Amino acid sequence: MATVTLVGAGPGDVGLITKRGHEILQSADVVVYDALVNPELLTNARRDAELIYVGKRAGAHSLSQEEINAVLIERARDGKSVCRLKGGDPFVFGRGGEEALACFEAQIPFEIVPGVTSAIAAPAYAGIPVTHRETATSFAVVTGHTASDDAPPDAIPAADTLVFLMGVRALPLIVARLMERGDAPQKPVALVRWGTRGEQETVVGTLETIEDEVARAKLKAPALIVVGEVVNLREKLRWFDNRPLWGQTVVVTRARQQASSLVEGLQKLGARVVECPTIRVEPLPETPVLDAEIPLLMRHEWIVFTSTNGVAHFFRNLDELKLDARVFGPSQVAAIGPATVAALRKRGIRPDFVPQSSISENVAAGLLERGAKGRQILVIRALEGREVLEERLREGGASVTIAPVYRTLPDHSGVEAAREQIERGAVNWVTFTSSSTVKNFVAAFGDEWVAAHRHHFQVAAIGPVTAQTAIECGLEPDVVAEEASVEALAAALMR
**Which residues carry out catalysis?**
34, 56, 166
CA distance 300 to 441: 37
| 8 Å CB contact between 191 and 170 | no
> CB-side exposure of 382: number of CA atoms within 13 Å?
16
Instruction: Quote the strand ranges of 166-257, DSSP E.
Output: 188-193, 201-206, 223-227, 249-252
CA angle, 256 as apex, 253 and 259 as ends, to 5°? 70
Contacts of 318 by beta carbon, 8 Å cutoff, 6+ apart: 294, 324, 325, 327
3-class state of residue 140 by DSSP: strand
Crossing angle of the two packed helices 435-445 and 415-423, in degrees rounded to 10 = 70
CA distance 85 to 99: 12
- DSSP annotation of 137 reads S
- Alpha helix positions (H), 5-117: 19-27, 65-77, 96-105
Residue 423 host element (H or E): helix 415-423
Amino acid residing at 16: L
| 8 Å CB contact between 108 and 4 | yes
Is residue 148 packed enough to be buried (19+ CB in 10 Å), middle (13-18) or exposed (0-12)? exposed
CA distance 118 to 12: 8
Residue 459 host element (H or E): strand 458-461
Crossing angle of the two packed helices 338-346 and 308-320, in degrees rounded to 10 = 20
| 8 Å CB contact between 241 and 147 | no
Q: What value does the CA radius of gyration of the chain take, rounded to a whole number of Å?
A: 28
| 8 Å CB contact between 82 and 28 | yes
